Amino acid sequence: MISDLNDRSREILKLVVESYVETGAPVGSRTLSKKLHENISPATIRNVLADLEEYGLLYAPHVSAGRLPTDLGMRLFVDGILEIGNLTDEERIQIEAQCKTNGASFNQVLEQAGNLMSGLSACAGLVVAPKTEQQRLKHVEFVSLGPGRALVVMVTEEGQVENRVLDLPVGVTPSILIEAGNYLSSKLIGQSLTEAKAVIAKEIRSNKAAIHELSTKLVEAGLATWSDTSDDGVLIVRGQSNLLQDINALGDLENIRTLFTALETKENLLRLVDLTQDAAGVQIFIGAENELFSVTGCSMIISPYRNSEEQIIGTIGVVGPTRMNYARIIPMVDYTAKVVSQMLRQK
């Protein structure tokens, strides 16, 4: 559709969107006439605004008001008119310094990335951590917490650490916990939890398990726990309060609460990662284009990050008002995802 617009219509659409991003308020013909490069009367501008409204790119919130862009108008602007800015050297240094903290675990890096996205964008930072089920193990250890309970510590090759508390079968001693940890270390390191569970099940079926019956039960219980609870990844959201500072632009406060409730449900976590699977880089979802944001007046900018095998394992992004500063936030999200990917390749 952008090719159907003449230069004058494109410029007026651009000015309406830029004004909306800056103020959140409708813009009228007189204001636009002062910003246009050519000398055009307000009457002529009103005719162009009417045409853009007929195309579904603009709308008037009430009679005699100026115009605001629709979601379609924002999409047309982002895809065909927007000039993407470049990060400053200071912003690049800040992103690298915060993500590449020496000694930080991968979980801590993701937490920092979420905080960073929120702080730099003044929106909500969003990070979907990898699914533990599909990551390869580097270390597994069981730690006794007293009678009937143990802590299992898993470290993946990506550096993600996950701790889970298990209820133990009757009769499991600390020595059996050590034995079970040694068994996992000798048999399963370098495999994903899904693969590990299959290996153990095969050994148990063929009666070739090299560990005591109670230890076998412990391993079975532990792997079942991981499989049942961790296959949907982890959602990290930072800066939700940023979305609540401009209620007029975002609409009903309850809609924002509903959005975060939806984001935090398991069935929606992997959908955020799936949105990036077929894309080379940044993906932008504006308002009603994504059902998660259809009633909230929000948009989402996300980019995938990859492991050392170039597999997409998670997503970094920003959720903010439809009038967020796309030119600044798009390169910010893209660069942060690339920095996190570089860290994973070095592990």
- What class does CATH assign to 133-229? alpha beta
CATH 1.10.10.10 fits domain 2-80: yes
pLDDT-derived band at 257 (thresholds 50, 70, 90) equals low
Catalogue the long-range contacts made by 213-220 (C-beta closer than 8 Å, 24 or more residues apart): 214/169, 214/171, 214/172, 214/176, 215/172, 215/176, 215/179, 215/180, 215/183, 217/169, 217/172, 218/142, 218/150, 218/166, 218/168, 218/169, 218/172, 218/176, 218/177, 218/180, 219/180, 219/183, 219/184
The span from the CA of 317 to the CA of 290, in Å, is 15
Where along the chain do the CATH 3.30.390.60 domains lie?
A: 133-229
User: From start to end of 183-260, where are the E strands?
Assistant: 234-238
| Residue of 106, 103, 101, 133 whose CA lies nearest to 308 | 106
| Residue of 154, 73, 65 whose CA lies nearest to 107 | 154
Q: Which residue has the higher pLDDT, 279 or 151?
A: 151
Place of tokens 């570089």: 342
What are the structure tokens assigned to 274, written together?
A: 């799936």
State the number of CA atoms in the 13 A half-sphere of 342 facing the CB.
10
What contacts 136, CB < 8 A, 6 or more positions away?
156, 157, 190, 191, 192
3-state class of 278 per DSSP?
Answer: coil
What are 68-120's pLDDT values in tens digits? Answer: 999 999 999 998 899 888 898 998 998 988 887 766 677 778 888 888 898 88
What are the structure tokens assigned to 230, written together?
A: 């961790």
CB 211 within 8 A of CB 175: no
pLDDT-derived band at 279 (thresholds 50, 70, 90) equals low
Q: Is the pLDDT of residue 216 over 60?
A: no
Where along the chain do the CATH 3.30.450.40 domains lie?
A: 89-131+232-346
AA letter at 188: L
State the number of CA atoms in the 13 A half-sphere of 157 facing the CB.
18
Kindly report the CATH number that applies to the domain delimited by 89-131+232-346: 3.30.450.40
pLDDT of residue 230: 42
Where along the chain do the CATH 1.10.10.10 domains lie?
A: 2-80
The span from the CA of 49 to the CA of 60, in Å, is 10
Q: Is the pLDDT of residue 126 over 60?
A: yes
- Would the pTM of this model clear 0.75, i.e. be above it? no
Q: Is the pLDDT of residue 278 over 90?
A: no
